Amino acid sequence: MAEFYKHETAIVDEGAQIGEGSRIWHFAHVCSGAEIGKKVSVGQNVFVGNKVTIGDHCKIQNNVSVYDNVHLEEGVFCGPSMVFTNVYNPRSLIERKNEYRDTIVRKGATLGANCTIVCGVTVGEFAFIGAGAVINSDVPAYALMVGVPAKQIGWMSEYGERLDLPVEGYAETVCEHTGLKYRLTNNNVLLVAK
């Protein structure tokens, strides 16, 4: 069994897979089918469902529920009290567990505090979802999204700083913090030089 830290108030059901160096904090509950990578921080009052995968180096801040069919790749940041859903049109009187939709959050993405990710979407690599935004469709890699419903207002670097690029068109820029070069073409941003 991999070595990880579990606070005495946390519940980790038998069968859950948790990678080395991960930390499960106060009052968290990790279900038996969950797969959590290495060096993951699961904050206070976090729930992790059975059909969930969480990649290495993710940070899930306090009061987040990671429901079934949510998949986080490496290095995803989930801000405090952000929300995932897994049923598109829930009703208390109608069971729809067979209608769960997969939600995929790609490597390095940031999901700001109190944002909502409606089930069935993919959030691209290193995308940045602003606090309180509501995501109801796929998000391109490196996109900066804000508002309700969320609209794209720019692009973000892997470092987490806004890039000097228009939302559409063709352009290139260099991240002033890292020297990495980014290119916007066909409404997609690519990292072109390291």
pLDDT tens-digit series, residues 124-140:
999 999 999 999 999 99
Instruction: Give the mean pLDDT of 38-57.
Output: 98
Model confidence at 193, in pLDDT bands (50, 70, 90)?
confident
Report d(CA 187, CA 11) in Å as an integer: 44
Token pair of 173 as six digits: 């820029």
Long-range CB pairs of 139-143, under 8 A, 24+ apart, other chains included: 140/187, 140/188, 140/189, 141/106, 141/188, 141/189, 141/190, 142/182, 142/189, 143/189
Fold that domain 5-164 belongs to in CATH: UDP N-Acetylglucosamine Acyltransferase; domain 1 (2.160.10)
Report d(CA 101, CA 39) in Å as an integer: 27
pLDDT tens-digit series, residues 56-67:
999 999 999 999
pLDDT tens-digit series, residues 94-153:
999 999 999 999 999 999 999 999 999 999 999 999 999 999 999 999 999 999 999 999
Region class of 132: left (phi > 0), else alpha (psi between -120 and 50), else beta: left
pLDDT of residue 88: 94
Q: In this prediction, what percent of the chain has a pLDDT beyond 70?
A: 98
Token pair of 68 as six digits: 């079934």
Q: Where along the chain do its domains lie?
A: 5-164
Which residue, among 74, 66, 82, 186, has the nearest Cα to 134 in the 3D structure? 82
